[in-house]
A and B are shown apart, each in its own frame.
Chain A
Amino acid sequence: MAGMKVGRFPGEPATALPAMKRSMRTWVQEAIAGYLFISPAMFFLIVFLIIPILASVVLVFTDYSLLAPPHWVGLENLTRLLHDKRMFTCYRNSLLITIGATTLNNVIGLLLAMGVNRKMPGVLRYLLRTAFFFPVLTTTASLAVVWRFILTQDRGILNYLLQQIGLSPVPWLSSVRWAIPSVVMYDVWKSCGYLMVLYLAGLQGIPEVLYEAAKIDGAGRLQLTRYITLPLITPTAFFCIVISLIGAFQIFDNAYVLTEGGPGDASRTIAMYIYEMAFKRYEMGYASAVALSLLVILVAMTLLQLWASRKWVHYE
């Protein structure tokens, strides 16, 4: 920088030139620094994300089993998609799991956050928050093993407890009817604490003055919830719903360990189906086609929500 200093007599008018030169130079330096700083992240993003996405678009038009080089099959994989009954079953399962898990996770997450946000001693708040959040920290696959022990039909813990209150035991994991509810139940147990933390942050962002003002106007507790908390939590809720929908649509570990997709295909999710096509049958081209259909659905779903959010999300 020292070289940039241009000597100037006192009183002589300063020309804009040196200053401009200097700012040009820092500007270029800043740009170079910027590209250098992002280059490591950019490199891995390109190699392991962008190239793979483009590659899977190409793979869709090929038949590739890893053993022989891929060969061009045109639109075959795409027409096969339209007639794939198993795929539609898996989409149906994923949709049911997504609806159930997203609704319950968000409703319970919000209620827990409102509960923890109440006036209470700090220790109690800490204990409750830790209890709700703890399952989030555990390994999905390993804890699914524990839940298998809880849900087994014979000598399972949940069925024992049900029988104690006079209900008949339920074949949680081995029946077509209960397999999906079991996967949803496990997912809600595992991840409602995560949403609680997000909603808690949203609740704490609501200015206290609003409540004070409404209380002075004589609003009751239900009215405070209805007219202040719920409208002002909608931006948080929007974010939470978007991420939990995307997450739930990709559920793999839960069902893989809990029910192995069964009985039959009763709880096979679309992620498990893609895994089966790619890594059990080595139909890489067709697996890519199913995967891209999932991407299209997720993007469409998110855009739809963005559009719908204008109707129900209140931005201050």
Chain B
Amino acid sequence: MTSTSMAERKARLEGLSARRVGFYVGEAVVWALLIAMAVIEIAPIMWMFSTSLRNPGESFELPPDFLPTAWRWDNYLAVIRSEKIDFPLFFWNSLKIALIVTASQLLTCSLAAFAFARLRFAGRDTLFFLFLASMMVPAQVTTVPVFIIIRSLHLMDTHWALILPGMTSAFGVFLLRQFFLTLPEDLMDAAKIDGAGFFRIFWRIMLPLVGPGLSALGIFTFLGSWNNFYGPLLFLRSWDKLTFPLALVTLQGYMGMGNRAHVLAGIMMSIFPVLLFFLLAQRFVIRGIALTGLKA
């Protein structure tokens, strides 16, 4: 700070040099671009939010208003109470699936990640490589056989079709392994000398220390399941089984031309839980993403 103010004083004494002017112009351009990008990223969401609160007849108005001009929360009530579309049910379907998938991934991934990071056994590195390699396989390659498996298990049009394939993830194992590797080796040895069994070491000592990793994975998994569109599109047929995103896209088909405000109110409601989650744990999300990139 002192160096800038000294430099400023010097500049004032000597008059604004060309370099100084260039500096301020550069600074202004950088800030203008940053703010412009922030506006571009947020404007569609602001428009959606304010239009969802407007009189449905005004949702096609131009110029578009990006700030709320009315507060018609009854649009939300209309969507929730709609006879044609059972929104609370879709919400519950999505929430149920996302919670089960998240809980099971936290368990299966942390167990495997701990073993890959801290236990020694024959074939460990080969098996871990198998997990890593499987992250590269595009979903399109596995969906046809998975579809056949689900169909032969008679699980079509049930939520199990979405839950079972999501019970674990190679990404989760990879992410948590990174966290376990940051814990000091001595911790493990000390616990072993004290005669603690491996499950006890895992459950009582190591797991509490990778809390941030678990939070990050929990949020990613919840988001992934909540936002999943392809899976429900493949496996769900009946109206009462649909999940939120699929129902929203279908809803747009039903009333998109007539009532934008209601469609947008539905989409806003699909963002609320995610927003809540994020505000509670933004740190973990950002750190979790960052950690996948490091040492990769």
Please determine whether B140 and A302 come into contact, CB atoms closer than 8 angstroms.
Answer: no
Contacts of B142 in A (CB 8 A): 48-49, 52-53, 56
B102 to chain A, nearest CB (A): 15
Q: Are B138 and A294 in contact, CB atoms less than 8 angstroms apart?
A: yes
Known: A131-B41, A198-B293, A295-B138. A33 touches B115 (CB 8 A): yes
In the complex, are the beta carbons of B134 and A41 less than 8 A apart? no
Given contacts A37-B114, A155-B60, is CB(A201)–CB(B140) below 8 Å? no
B103-123 near A? 1/0 per residue, CB < 8 Å: 000011101101110011110
Q: How far is the CB of B279 from chain A (nearest CB, A)?
A: 9
- What residues on B are CB-neighbors of A292 within 8 Å? 141
SS class, residues of chain B in contact with chain A: helix
- Which residue of A1, A45, A108, A116 has the most chain B CB atoms within 10 A of its CB atom? A45
Residue contacts A-B, CB under 8 angstroms, 30 given: A30-B121, A31-B121, A31-B122, A33-B121, A41-B111, A48-B146, A48-B165, A48-B167, A52-B141, A55-B145, A108-B37, A127-B38, A132-B41, A139-B248, A145-B249, A145-B256, A155-B60, A155-B62, A197-B289, A198-B293, A201-B293, A221-B26, A239-B293, A252-B229, A271-B139, A274-B140, A275-B143, A278-B144, A291-B138, A298-B138
Q: Bound state CA distance, A146 and B92, in angstroms?
A: 23
Q: Which residues of A contact B112 (CB under 8 A)?
A: 37-38, 40-42
Contact with B along A234-258 (1 / 0, CB 8 A): 0010011000001001101100110
Q: How many residues on B have C-beta within 8 angstroms of the other chain's C-beta atoms?
A: 91
Q: What is the CB-to-nearest-CB distance from A150 to chain B, in angstroms, rounded to a whole number?
A: 6
In the complex, A287 Cα to B278 Cα: how many Å? 38
Alpha-carbon distance A128/B34, docked complex (angstroms) = 8
Does B109 lie within 8 Å of A41, measured CB to CB? yes
Give the contacting residue for B144; candidates A40, A287, A299; CB below 8 A: A287
Q: Does A115 contact B (CB under 8 A)?
A: yes
Give the residue name and chain of the B residue nearest to A204 (CB): B290
